[in-house]
Amino acid sequence: MSDGSALFSDGKAYERLMGRWSQAVGTQFLDWLALPKGLRWLDVGCGNGAFTETLIAHAAPGEVSGIDPSEGQLSYARTRPGAKLAQFRVAGAQDLPFTDHSFDVAIMALVITFVPDPLKAVREMARVVRPGGTVATYMWDIPGGGLPLEPVHVAMKTVGISAPMPAGVESSRQDSMRALWEKAGLQSIETRVIRIQVAYSGFDDFWESNSVPVGPVGKAFSEMSPAVKEQVKTQLRKQLPAGPDGRIVYAAYANAVKGRVPG
Ligand SMILES: C[S@@+](CC[C@H](N)C(=O)[O-])C[C@H]1O[C@@H](n2cnc3c(N)ncnc32)[C@H](O)[C@@H]1O
């Protein structure tokens, strides 16, 4: 598959790896959007429903549709008690299966770097949102070191392996996001950085959460020899900022952009 959906086939493993951090960013993102209750929302690349659940809890939407190319992610999303309001279906961001102006808001949470043609996706979001509605996204600042998996990237580089990057890593930059929103014809564009703390109870929690075969890093681990994997693990033990109680806590940060559909 040419998009990133094949990397995300296990909704349960995704939850521990990334879903909880997406929800932490998502809460601040929704506060920043500051939109009224009762709106029609589209969650593009909704995956296992991590952000969808946060959206329903914090923004009191009237309707929610979630689309994702990965059925493995969607089947987990459908089991979430907090996402019962949402309608989930298999689809890709570049060809949204909705008529023009069907929604008040369309968002993409941690998706933009996995979409082969992000401008096409943003134009699609603008097409399905009514004039005056909102199109927005957030993505870890990967080039700036904001990814929760950044310590794994650093450890890999230290032992001489190049860290795996999604193909569209450039679109996680704030200036790239702004340029995409401008090219898609959106107005009143604003950007911001959203910071969170990621925390693990200890090294085993960190390792088990981040070495699952989900996402670019998990795929790299699954293709590594056991000896090289052990080298990365040893490097991580040295490098991670563990407190006296063994807890590992550090900052992660995402870039976000929002704009209004003209009219
Ligand atoms: C890091 S996950 C984010 C999931 C969820 N939005 C969240 O906040 O946790 C990236 C998601 O993008 C989806 N994806 C990959 N390529 C896509 C595309 N072309 N269109 C829509 N979604 C895509 C993957 O299947 C995966 O579920």
> Does the pLDDT value for residue 1 go beyond 50?
no
CA distance 60 to 53: 11
CA distance 234 to 49: 34
pLDDT at 258: 98
From the CA of 92, give the closest atom in ligand 1. Answer: 20
Burial (0-12, 13-18, 19+ Cβ within 10 Å), 170: middle
Q: What is the mean pLDDT of the chain?
A: 95
The DSSP element (H or E) to which 156 belongs, if any, is helix 150-158
pLDDT at 10: 85
Residue 63 and residue 85 in contact, taking contact as beta carbons nearer than 8 Å? yes
pLDDT at 117: 97
Q: Report which of 166, 145, 139, 177 is spatially closest to residue 259, judged by C-alpha positions.
A: 177
CA distance 172 to 152: 18
Residue nearest to atom 3 of ligand 1 (CA): 110
The sign of the dihedral angle between the CA atoms of 169, 170, 174, 179 is negative
From the CA of 26, give the closest atom in ligand 1. Answer: 8
From the CA of 45, give the closest atom in ligand 1. Answer: 22
The position carrying tokens 């940060």 is: 253
Burial (0-12, 13-18, 19+ Cβ within 10 Å), 58: middle
Gap from CA of 107 to ligand 1 centroid (Å): 12
Mean pLDDT of the region 133-159: 97
Least confident of 8-12, 59-63, 91-95, 170-174: 8-12
In the structure, which protein residues have their CB atom closer than 6 angstroms to any atom of ligand 1?
Answer: 3-5, 8, 18-19, 22, 44-47, 50-51, 68-70, 73, 92-94, 109-111, 114-115
> Does the pLDDT value for residue 65 go beyond 50?
yes
Q: Which domains does the chain have, with CATH numbers?
A: 4-147+166-196+254-260 (3.40.50.150)
At residue 253 the predicted structure's pLDDT band, cuts being 50, 70 and 90, is very high
Gap from CA of 46 to ligand 1 centroid (Å): 6
DSSP structural state of residue 134: E
89 bridge partner residues: 67
The sign of the dihedral angle between the CA atoms of 217, 220, 224, 228 is negative
Gap from CA of 72 to ligand 1 centroid (Å): 11
> Does the pLDDT value for residue 130 go beyond 90?
yes
Gap from CA of 121 to ligand 1 centroid (Å): 12
For the stretch 219-252, pLDDT in tens is 999 999 999 999 999 999 999 999 999 999 999 9
Q: What is the pTM of this model?
A: 0.95
Mean pLDDT of the region 99-127: 98
